[in-house]
Amino acid sequence: MQLIMCLVFVCVWTFPAVISGAGVRVVVEEDSDAVLPCSLSTKESIVGMVFDWRKDEGQKEVFFYDSGSHYNNGRRTGQDEQFRGRVSHYEDQLMNGNASIKIHNTKVADSGIYSCILPKLNPRQTFYIELVVERLLRDRSGEIPGASKPSITILDATKDWSLLQCEVQGASPEPKVQLQDGSGNILPAEERRGCYYVTLNITVTKTDHYLCVLTQEEISHQSRVETFVFISDAGNTTDGNVVVVIAVAVVVVLVKIGQISKSQTFSLQHFISGGK
């Protein structure tokens, strides 16, 4: 009995296999596509073979191909819900030994160690690839609790200035809130904070687009809202002066050519000066 157990043990550990791909690391940004490489160095065709992609030590079925049968042509079932409809292979490169796959619209949860197994090769081959999906800073309100949206309000305004208020409520973890002008410059503002709210007030004196920007680095959330502020020019008197100068010039010309009398000239000048 002991001899039989020993022989079984030896058979298990001497089963021929080749493990490749150690150290292969693929890094992509969230929402982009990731190509996980798996190719035979011999370039032999795998059209009529099997290759099996798994994740998390084989716990999740990512993609399975068997002689033309795979998840995307409806001939197989068992693909993990996480990858359903997001994984494709390179059909036209199978005859060159390419078993690589592409994961579309990657998520941070896709990060991990993947194995590409070709069980019917002699010896059996397994490739390991690490996928790292980097989280982007983007608007995640509605996705993550505490990922809030900012608001911006014009509290008061004159022809020379406007008082803006940038407000964030219900934000957790603690947000960073900034007021920016249309060029992206950060503006100094009066700040008030509470446990879950931030309020910024600023008085602006020029016509521009103004943004209230909320950032929560811990959850990679950033949201912004914009408003347009018009500050009327105090230069309306300049336009009036131009009109007066033109009118006076017309009067001088008419007097010189004798078209109007001196009394008419006085009346016109009186009108131009506003009756003063």
pLDDT, tens digit, 9 for 90 and up, residues 120-158: 998 899 999 999 999 999 999 988 999 999 999 999 999
pLDDT at residue 19, rounded to an integer: 59
> Facing residues of 76 across strands?
none
Q: Tell me how far apart the alpha carbons of residues 115 and 36 are, in angstroms, rounded to a whole number.
A: 10
Written out in words, the top-level CATH class of the domain with range 15-134 is mainly beta
Whether pTM exceeds 0.75: no
Q: Do domains 15-134 and 150-229 have the same CATH topology?
A: yes
Written out in words, the top-level CATH class of the domain with range 150-229 is mainly beta
Domain boundaries, the chain: 15-134, 150-229, 237-272
Contact present, 232 and 159 (Cβ < 8 Å):
yes
Helices and strands, number each (H, E), in the chain: 3, 17
Q: Which residues of the chain have pLDDT under 50?
A: 1-15, 234-274, 276
Q: Tell me how far apart the alpha carbons of residues 266 and 59 are, in angstroms, rounded to a whole number.
A: 100
